[in-house]
């Protein structure tokens, strides 16, 4: 099995395993206790904190260990908002933050606060100017990831931090994808990370809060971790997290190997597989991560075929069992979501591993497309739809209505591709769909295939009881 999904969770680093097993012997006692075992556990936590703080670039007393990256984000976001409640209740975040940030924002909204999303470009990158524009006088906190977890784009954190500094707004940087891999960007006020993303054990997150930042813990506290993180300290896991962070940091030079392999994938996939869109910034990116989407492909089927072929990868498609909507990241970028694949390489991945993946991928995609009835460029081979357009009397009206209601991604796009050939060039097709992904994928399909996307209308205008109608004008014969 070739594991290409370290962005979800990295296998335990050997240093982490060794430290964990040792610390289970030495650090199981309560570090708050005064006897020998307790003092020993306290020394281990203190040493781990010092070591992790050095990598993060903060003082040890600015760093708390949490029980997950998600908890670090939630405690950090809500604590910083509570600490600056008098300034205002506005939270500014990029539209492509990790769900933990967005969920914390939802909790903040439910409690009466407001959340402003800063959009991104097609590469998934925020503009420092746009971010600066969102920083109003009543902004209590801003959040920006160091790098995007789905497409790998590195954000301009230093420039955004400078804008935040000018506006007097603290910036929380979610460094989950980059800590241990890339240098910590300067200028943050709060920083969060997650150990299992760098090869540490699960059960450990980091929350660093600069001394000068106003912070008010929002969750029932206790005396642990300076009142910021309640619950018995997980000393062995904390020790293993800190040890592996140092080890991973020392190996970071080897990430250049992965960056080269990612360049190979970025270049070769569109050559090997028809109708593919590689997404994310090609240059300012995480070294080990690349994402692409395949037209006319069901993401879940693709993952399961790749799994069968021996490759573990991830997907932001809506057509996987774990979610019903396309990834908010792909949506914010306005790129194709169907047949989405995220490849994130562990250290030690070889060119041979990548070549095997590239050898397998085209056949896997072809097989999935074939089972969906697509082979080569999709052509109109199906029977006419039961619903017909209002006819040529209305010049704005589509010449053909394709009913894809009740059909899940990627079927609406496949239907559109099949049937657009039925109308003459210059005429429009309306695709009726109640699948969320269609909103993203039909415009993207138009762009990829040189068709003109006309917009979205309520489906009831076309006699349907639910969903939307997506209008497309056929630009050239064939699709």
Name the DSSP letter for residue 182.
B
Least distance to its own copies, CB of residue 397, Å: 42
Give the residue from 28, 13, 155 showing the smallest Cα distance to 97: 155
Give the residue from 392, 402, 288 showing the smallest Cα distance to 347: 288
Least distance to its own copies, CB of residue 233, Å: 7
Alpha-carbon distance 33 to 40, whole Å?
10
Spatial contact of 416 and 445, defined as CB atoms under 8 Å apart: yes
Token reading at 356:
């095997």
The sheet with strand 205-209 has its strands ordered as 63-66, 205-209, 190-194, 171-174, 139-145, 90-94, 114-118
For its own copies, which stretch binds (CB under 8 A), given 126-134, 299-307, 398-406, 463-471? 299-307
- By CB under 8 A, name the one of 50, 61, 260, 307 that touches its own copies: 307
CA terminus-to-terminus distance, the chain: 38
Alpha-carbon distance 96 to 118, whole Å?
9
300 by DSSP, 3-state: which?
A: helix
Helix axes 69-83, 99-110, angle to 10 degrees: 40
For its own copies, which stretch binds (CB under 8 A), given 117-125, 318-326, 351-359, 431-439? 318-326
Token reading at 231:
């619950």
- By CB under 8 A, name the one of 61, 158, 219, 460 that touches its own copies: 219
Alpha-carbon distance 415 to 433, whole Å?
11
21 near its own copies, judged by CB under 8 A: yes
Least distance to its own copies, CB of residue 303, Å: 5
Give the residue from 354, 241, 370 showing the smallest Cα distance to 296: 370
Q: Which is nearer to its own copies, 5 or 435 (CB)?
A: 5
Least distance to its own copies, CB of residue 287, Å: 21
Q: Is 319 a catalytic residue?
A: yes
18 near its own copies, judged by CB under 8 A: no
CA-to-CA separations, 82 to 90, 106, 216, 419, in angstroms, rounded: 11, 15, 5, 55
> Taking CB under 8 A as the criterion, which residues in 85-104 touch its own copies?
99-100, 103-104
17 near its own copies, judged by CB under 8 A: yes
- By CB under 8 A, name the one of 68, 127, 325, 380 that touches its own copies: 68
Non-local CB neighbours of 208 within 8 Å, separated by 6+ positions? 53, 56, 58, 62, 63, 64, 188, 190, 191, 192
112 near its own copies, judged by CB under 8 A: no
Q: Which is nearer to its own copies, 117 or 475 (CB)?
A: 117
309 near its own copies, judged by CB under 8 A: no
> Taking CB under 8 A as the criterion, which residues in 372-391 touch its own copies?
none
Non-local CB neighbours of 167 within 8 Å, separated by 6+ positions? 132, 135, 139
Per-residue x/- marks for its own copies, 24-63, CB under 8 A?
A: x---xxx-xxxxxxx-------------------------
Least distance to its own copies, CB of residue 53, Å: 21
Least distance to its own copies, CB of residue 30, Å: 4
For its own copies, which stretch binds (CB under 8 A), given 217-225, 252-260, 361-369, 434-442? 217-225
348 near its own copies, judged by CB under 8 A: no
Between β-strands 428-433 and 400-403, what pairing exists: parallel, antiparallel or unpaired? parallel
Helix/strand number for the chain, H first, E second:
13, 16
Least distance to its own copies, CB of residue 423, Å: 38
The number of beta carbons lying within 10 Å of the beta carbon of residue 425 is 12
Least distance to its own copies, CB of residue 315, Å: 9
For its own copies, which stretch binds (CB under 8 A), given 179-187, 232-240, 255-263, 265-273? 232-240
Residue of 143, 294, 319, 446 marked active site: 319
Binding footprint of its own copies, residue count (CB under 8 A): 66
356 near its own copies, judged by CB under 8 A: no
303 near its own copies, judged by CB under 8 A: yes
For its own copies, which stretch binds (CB under 8 A), given 246-254, 307-315, 330-338, 470-478? 307-315
The H or E element that residue 272 is part of is helix 255-272
Residues that bind its own copies (CB under 8 A): 1, 3, 5, 8-12, 17, 20-21, 24, 28-30, 32-38, 67-71, 74, 78, 99-100, 103-104, 106-107, 194, 196, 201-203, 205, 219-223, 230-237, 300, 303-304, 306-307, 311-314, 320-322
Catalytically active residues are 319
């Amino acid at each position: 099995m070739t594991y290409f999904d370290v962005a979800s969770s990295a296998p335990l680093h050997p240093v982490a395993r060794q430290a964990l097993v040792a610390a289970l012997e030495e650090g199981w006692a309560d570090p708050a206790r005064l006897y020998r075992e307790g003092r020993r556990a306290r020394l281990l936590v203190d040493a781990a904190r010092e070591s992790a703080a050095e990598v993060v670039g903060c003082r040890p007393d600015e760093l708390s260990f949490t029980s997950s990256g998600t908890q670090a984000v939630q405690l950090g976001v809500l604590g910083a908002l509570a600490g600056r409640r008098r300034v205002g209740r506005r939270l500014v975040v990029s539209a492509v933050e990790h769900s933990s940030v967005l969920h914390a924002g939802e909790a903040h909204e439910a409690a009466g606060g407001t959340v402003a999303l800063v959009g991104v470009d097609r590469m998934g990158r925020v503009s420092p100017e746009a971010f600066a524009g969102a920083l109003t006088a009543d902004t209590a906190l801003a959040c920006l990831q160091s790098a995007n977890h789905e497409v790998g784009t590195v954000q301009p954190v230093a420039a955004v931090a400078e804008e935040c500094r000018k506006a007097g707004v603290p910036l929380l940087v979610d460094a989950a994808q980059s800590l241990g891999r890339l240098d910590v960007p300067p200028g943050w006020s709060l920083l969060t990370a997650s150990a299992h993303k760098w090869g540490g054990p699960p059960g450990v997150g980091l929350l660093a809060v600069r001394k000068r930042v106003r912070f008010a813990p929002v969750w029932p506290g206790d005396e642990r971790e300076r009142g910021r993180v309640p619950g018995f300290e997980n000393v062995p896991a904390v020790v293993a997290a800190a040890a592996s962070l140092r080890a991973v940091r020392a190996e970071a030079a080897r990430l250049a190997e992965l960056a080269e392999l990612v360049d190979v994938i970025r270049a070769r996939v569109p050559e090997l597989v028809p109708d593919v869109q590689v997404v994310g910034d090609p240059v300012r990116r995480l070294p080990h991560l690349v994402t692409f989407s395949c037209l006319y492909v069901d993401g879940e089927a693709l993952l399961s075929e790749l799994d069968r072929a021996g490759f573990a990868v991830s997907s932001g498609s809506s057509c996987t069992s774990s979610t019903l909507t396309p990834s908010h990241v792909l949506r914010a970028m306005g790129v194709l979501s169907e047949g989405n694949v995220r490849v994130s390489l562990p250290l030690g991945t070889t060119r041979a591993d990548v070549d095997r993946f590239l050898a397998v991928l085209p056949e896997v995609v072809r097989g999935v497309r074939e089972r969906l009835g697509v082979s080569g460029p999709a052509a109109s081979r199906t029977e006419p739809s039961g619903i017909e357009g209002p006819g040529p009397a209305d010049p704005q009206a589509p010449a053909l209505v394709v009913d894809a209601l009740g059909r899940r991604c990627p079927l609406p796009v496949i239907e559109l591709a099949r049937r657009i050939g039925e109308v003459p060039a210059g005429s429009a097709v309306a695709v009726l769909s109640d699948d969320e992904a269609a909103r993203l994928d039909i415009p993207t399909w138009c762009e990829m295939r040189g068709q003109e996307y006309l917009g979205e209308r309520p489906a009831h205008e076309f006699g349907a009881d639910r969903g939307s109608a997506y209008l497309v004008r056929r630009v050239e014969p064939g699709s």
